[in-house]
Structure 1
Amino acid sequence: MITIYDIAKKANVSAMTVSRVINNTGKISEATRKRVKQVMEELHYVPNSTARSLVLQKTMMLSLLITDITNPFFTTVARGAEDTARKFGYKMLFGNSDEDYTKESEYVDSIVSTRVDGVLFAPAGDGSLDHLTRLQKHRIPFVILDREVPGIESDLVLGDSKEGARRLVEHLLQLGHRRIALVNGSPDVSTARLRQQGYADALKLADIPYDDELVVHISYRDFRDDGALDRLLGLERPPTAIFAANNVLAVGMIRALRERGLRVPDDVSVVCFDDLGLASVLDPFLTVAAQPAYQFGALGVQMLLERIEAGPELQRRTIMLPSELMLRSSVRPLADA
C-alpha cells in the first residue's frame, strides 16, 4: 500500500509536507504543491479518509434523510443536495425512511455512529421529534427540509404549502367547481395541515361551507386506501374535482378513477401539489402547484455548511420557497356546478 512516506521520498519533500498538501493546511509553495500532487497521481495514492478526518476534525460527509425516494419531488431534492455538496468537496450519504418512524430511527442511529458533519433531514412527521432531539444531543448540525416539527428549533427550508393549496383550490372554484374533495396526507405531517388550511381558506373566501365528508387522510407515500375514493364517489353529491395533497397521491387517484371507468377530467377533475418530474415533460397533463425541488436540496446544503462552520451561535434561519401554479389539462370547466 502506498503511504505518504513513499510520496515524500519520490517528491523529495518531508512526510509533513505531503500531509499538508493532502489536508490543504500550512504554507506550501505552489510549485511544491503541484509536485506532490503529481507524484500522488503517478502512484495512484488515495488518502486515508479516517486519518484525514482526525486531522481536520471533519469527515467531509453529509447525510440526506428523505421520506420517499420514489416521489419525484424528493428525487430532485436529492439531486440538488448532492450536486451542491460535491461543489464544496463533500460526499453525500442517502437514507429513505418511507414515511416510517421506526425506519427513520434506524437511520438516525447510523448517522450518529458514522459521525457525519451534518444532516439534511426531511422528517416523517411530528413523531420525528425524538430523532431530531437525538441529533441535538450528539451535537450533529442539521437543517430540516419541507416539513416542520413542533418542539424543534432549527434551520428550515420550506415550501409555502398553505398558499399553494389555496391557489389550486381557487383555480377549481374559478372554473365552476363547488364540490371539491381533499385527499390529504397524515394530520401529523405539517405540510398536510398547511395544505388543508389553504384548502379551507379558499372555500371560506368563496363562501362555500367546509364539508368534512369531502376530506380524507391517507399516507402521503402511496394511494392504497380504495375505500377513501369509494366513500367520496358514494356521497349523495360526489365531488366534481379532487385536490390531491401530493403527486404520489394524485397518480394513485387517477389510476383508481380509471379502474372505476371514470376519466380525468371528463368525469372528475384532479389537481395536486408538486409536479411529476420527467412525466410532466413527456405528458404535460396534470395541473399542479410546482415547488422548486432542486433548490430545496441546494439551499439546504448551503445552510448546513454555514451552520457547520458557524456553530450554534448562528441565528436560526428559515427559507420559504414559493410554488408555481402550472395550469394544464386535468381540470374541466363546469358551466353549472
Structure 2
Amino acid sequence: MKKKRKISIKDISKELGISTTTISFIINNKAKNRISKEVIEKVEDYIEKVGYKPNTTAQTLRTGKSKTIVFMAEDISDPFFSAIAKEMEEIAFENGYKIIYCSTENKKERALELLDLFKDRQVDAFIITPPEGFKDEMEKLIRENKQAVMVFDRYYDDFEHNYVVLDNLASSTRATRYLLDNGFQNVGFVGLKSDISPTLERLQGYQQVMAENGQKDRSVLIPFDEVKTLTGRKKIYDFIKRNPQIDSLLFATNSLAISGLKTLKEMSLKIPEDVSVLTFDDRDLFELYSPPISVISQPVSQLANELIKGTLNLLESDFKESSKFRKVLKGQLIERISSSRVSENNSI
C-alpha cells in the first residue's frame, strides 16, 4: 500500500492561492495585526479539514523555539509535584506549549545529566526544583541565558533569579503557633537534614515560635535519602523515645509524615489521644486516614498558574533583567481531628 504524502505549506499555498509566508505567520501564531481575520479563518479551516501537522523540527530551526518546557522536579511521583505538573500541563497546552517531566531524586549528578540532555534538545525553558548543593550550577545555567529558567519550591539568597515558592517561614510559624494555642506544650518537629530554603525556613519558623513562648526546641532532622527507609523511621522512633513528654508533632514534608505515622502505629501511640499530628502538604491519604490528618496545604492551582505565567512572561521578554518574576504564596491551615486537643474526660 502506497504511503499517503504529507501535506506541506506549499500545498496549502497552492490550493488556497495564499503566500507561504502568510500561511507560516498563521501557523506560528504571528498573524495578529498583520493578516485579516477572514484570511486567518480560511487557512485555519483548511488546515483542520486536511489535518495538516507542521514539521516540528523545521519549525524549531526556523523560529528558534521548540515550544517545550522541562519541569525538573525533586520526585515527579510525589503527589505534590505530580499535582503541580498536571495543572501546569493544562495551562501550558492552552498556550501552545508541551511539558516534559523528569525527577532529580534530589541528586546533583542526576540533575546535571538531565540539564545536558535537554539543553542539547533546544527546549525553550526550564522549571527546576534544584537538588541540594546545586547553587553554583543554577547560577551558571541562568547566566548562560539561552533558556528561560524558573526555580520552584525553593530559592537562593545570594544571586538574582526567578522563582515561585510557598512562604515556608510564615507557614511553619503559623503551624507551630496553632499547636501551642491549642494547648500543646511540648511540640516536636521532624524535618529534613538539608540546606535547601524550605527545609531551613520550616525549621526556623518552628524554633522561632518555640523560643518566643519559652518552650524547648525538640527537633530531629532526617537525611533526604533516609526518609522512606527503615533507618529514617528508626530515627523518628528514637527521637520520640528520647522525648516522651512530646504531645504533638509537626512534620516538615508529607513523606516524613507518612514515615512518622507508620512509626507511631508501631509504637502503639494513638492520634490525637497520645500525640497530636500536623504536617506540610496535603494528599488524599491524610484526609482518608483515621483520624484525618491536619495539614498546611500548598495552593497547588495558584502555584501552577504562577509558574507557567511567569515562564511565558520570561519567554516573551527574552529573559531581560526587567522581567524578573518572583512569587511567594501563602499556605492554608486545614484543621482535622489529628491536631485536636483531648480533654481530661477523653472526649475530643
Check whether TM > 0.5.
yes
Letter in 1 for 2:179: L
Give 2:83's match in structure 1, choosing from 70, 76, 89: 76
Give the counterpart of 1:271 among 278, 284, 308: 278
> Would you say the 8 A contact 2:277–2:294 is kept in 1?
yes
- Paired letter, 1:22: I
Q: Does residue 166 in structure 1 map to residue 178 in structure 2?
A: no
Match of 2:311 in 1: 304
Structure 2 Cα separation of the partners of residues 280 and 231 of structure 1: 24
Equivalent residue for 2:36, pick from 22, 29, 33:
29
Tell whether 2:155 aligns with 1:148: yes
Q: Which amino acid aligns with 1:6?
A: D
For 1:264 and 1:215, how far apart are their aligned partners in 2? 20
**Deviation of residue 112 (structure 1)?**
1.0
Query: For 1:68-104, what per-residue CA distance to the aligned partner results, in whole angstroms no more than 9, with x for missing partners?
Result: 2232221222123222212221111112112222221
Q: Does 1:293 align with 2:311?
A: no
Task: Provide the C-alpha distance between the structure 1 equivalents of 2:174 and 2:161, rounded to a whole number of angstroms.
Answer: 28
Q: How does 1:213-252 map to 2 (within 5 A)?
A: 214-219=219-224, 222-224=227-229, 225-235=232-242, 237-252=244-259
Shift in CA distance, 217/238, structure 1 to aligned 2, threshold 3 Å: farther
Distance 1:23 1:317, change over 3 A: closer
Tell me the distance in 1 between the aligned counterparts of 2:19 and 2:315: 32
Is residue 11 of structure 2 the alignment partner of residue 18 of structure 1?
no
Q: Percent identity?
A: 25
Q: For 1:294 and 1:20, how far apart are their aligned partners in 2?
A: 33
Other structure's SS at 1:314 match: helix
Aligned match for 1:96, one of 60, 80, 103:
103
User: Which of 54, 67, 75 is equivalent to 2:61?
Assistant: 54
1:103-139 deviation line (CA, Å, top 9, x unaligned): 2122211221122211111112343431452353252
For residues 326 and 40 of structure 2, what CA distance do their matches in structure 1 show? 41
Q: Any idea what SS the aligned residue of 1:112 has? A: helix
1:39 counterpart = 2:57: no
Structure 1 contact 83–298 (Cα < 8 Å) conserved:
no
Contact 2:107 2:132 (8 Å CA) reproduced: no
Aligned to 1:253: 260
In structure 2, what is the Cα distance between the partners aligned to 1:256 and 1:279?
16
Shift of the alpha carbon at 1:293?
A: 1.9
State whether structure 2 residue 12 is matched by structure 1 residue 7: yes
Hey, what's the Cα distance between the residues in 2 that align with 1:143 and 1:25? 25
2:225 is the alignment partner of 1:192? no
Deviation at 1:245, TM superposition (A): 0.1
- Select which of 316, 322, 326 maps to 2:334: 326
Contact 1:10 1:39 in 2 (8 A): no
Q: What secondary structure does 2:337 align onto?
A: coil
Q: Quick check: 146-155 or 17-26, which moved more? A: 17-26
Structure 2 distance, partners of 1:210, 1:16, is: 68
Is the alpha carbon distance of 1:90 and 1:65 closer, same or farther for their aligned partners in structure 2, counting shifts above 3 Å? same
Q: 1:309 to 1:17 in 2, by over 3 A?
A: closer
Any idea what the Cα deviations from partners look like across 1:269-303, whole Å, max 9, x if unmatched?
21111211x34555581111111022112101111
Q: How does 1:201-220 map to 2 (within 5 A)?
A: 201-211=208-218, 214-219=219-224
Return 261-270 or 112-121, whichever deviates more. Answer: 261-270
CA drift of 1:233 comes to 2.5
Tell me whether 1:314 sits opposite 2:322 in the alignment: yes
Q: CA deviation at 1:332?
A: 4.2
Amino acid at match of 1:59: S
Query: Structure 1 residue 37: deviation in Å?
Result: 2.5
Q: Using a 3 Å threshold, how does the CA distance of structure 1 residues 335 and 14 change in structure 2: closer, same or farther?
A: closer
RMSD of aligned residue pairs (Cα, Å): 2.3
Aligned length: 333
Kept in 2: contact 1:166–1:198 (CA 8 A): yes
Shift of 1:257: 1.6
- In structure 2, relative to structure 1, the CA distance for the partners of 1:128 and 1:103 (3 Å cut) is farther
Task: Note the C-alpha offset of 1:195.
Answer: 0.5
Q: Is the 8 A contact 1:183 1:218 kept in 2?
A: no
- Aligned equivalents of 2:46, 2:206: Cα separation in 1: 63
Q: Which deviates more from structure 2 when the two are superposed, residues 249-258 or residues 194-203?
A: 249-258
Is the CA contact 2:286–2:294 (under 8 Å) kept in the aligned structure 1? no
Q: Distance in 2 between matches of 1:210 and 1:40?
A: 66
In the aligned structure 1, how far is the partner of 2:66 from the partner of 2:298? Answer: 32
Which structure 1 residue ranges, 5 or more long, are not aligned? none
Q: What CA distance in whole angstroms lies between the structure 2 residues aligned with 1:197 and 1:275?
A: 21
- 1:247 is displaced (CA, Å) by 1.2
> CA 1:24–1:130 in structure 2 vs 1: closer, same or farther (change >3 Å)?
closer
Please report the TM-score for the alignment, with normalisation by the length of structure 2: 0.87
**CA drift at 1:321:** 0.5
CA contact (8 A) 1:99 1:124 kept: yes
